Amino acid sequence: MYECKGSWKASAKNIKIQGNRLECELQTLRGDYVPNQLDFFPNFSYENINGHFEWPMCKQGVELNNTSHEHIKRRYKEVTIQQCLEHLTNEYDDWFHIEKKHIQCVRDKCISISLFKKNANNRVAGQYPVDSAWKKKYYDSLLNNLRQFERTDMCVNLYLANDLSDLIPELSKFTFVNVFLMKSESIGAQPGMMWRFMDITNTSYKTVFVADIDENWNWVDEFEESTSKLCTVTPTDVLISPKPYIPAYNFPTIIGSHIAAKPRRFSYNIVDVMKGFIGLCKERERSRNPYCFEDRDPITVWNQPIGDHIYGWGRLTTVYGFDELFMKHVVYYDAYPDIEFI
For 151, phi and psi rounded to 5 degrees? -70, 130
pLDDT one-digit tens code per residue, 111-154: 999 999 999 999 999 999 999 999 999 999 999 999 999 999 99
Task: Tell me which H or E stretch contains 13.
Answer: strand 12-18
At 31 the pLDDT is 73
Q: Please, are residues 217 and 196 in contact by the beta-carbon 8 Å criterion?
A: no
Burial 301-322 (b: 16+ CB within 10 A, else e): bbbbbbeebebbbbbbbbbbbb
Give the helix ranges, DSSP H, for the chain.
69-75, 81-86, 93-96, 134, 140-148, 168-171, 192-195, 219-223, 270-285, 322-326, 332-335
Q: Please, are residues 178 and 156 in contact by the beta-carbon 8 Å criterion?
A: yes
At 321 the pLDDT is 97
At 341 the pLDDT is 98
Please, what is the average pLDDT of the chain? 91
Question: Which stretch of 60-69, 119-128, 296-305 has the lowest confidence by average pLDDT?
Answer: 296-305
pLDDT one-digit tens code per residue, 28-51: 666 777 777 777 665 555 555 544
Asked if pLDDT for residue 93 goes beyond 60, the answer is yes
> What integer is the mean pLDDT of 292-321?
91
Q: Please, are residues 25 and 34 in contact by the beta-carbon 8 Å criterion?
A: yes
At 10 the pLDDT is 66
At 306 the pLDDT is 86
At 2 the pLDDT is 47
DSSP state of 265: G
At 7 the pLDDT is 56
pLDDT band at 9 (very low <50, low <70, confident <90, very high): low
CATH class given for the domain over 69-239+249-341: alpha beta
At 1 the pLDDT is 40
Give DSSP secondary structure letters for 93-146.
HHHH-EEEEE-----SEEEEEEE--S-TT-SSTTSSPPPTTHIIIIIHHHHHHH
Q: Please, are residues 253 and 328 in contact by the beta-carbon 8 Å criterion?
A: yes
- Give 276 or 52, the one with higher predicted confidence: 276
Domain assignments of the chain as residue spans, ordered by start: 12-54, 69-239+249-341
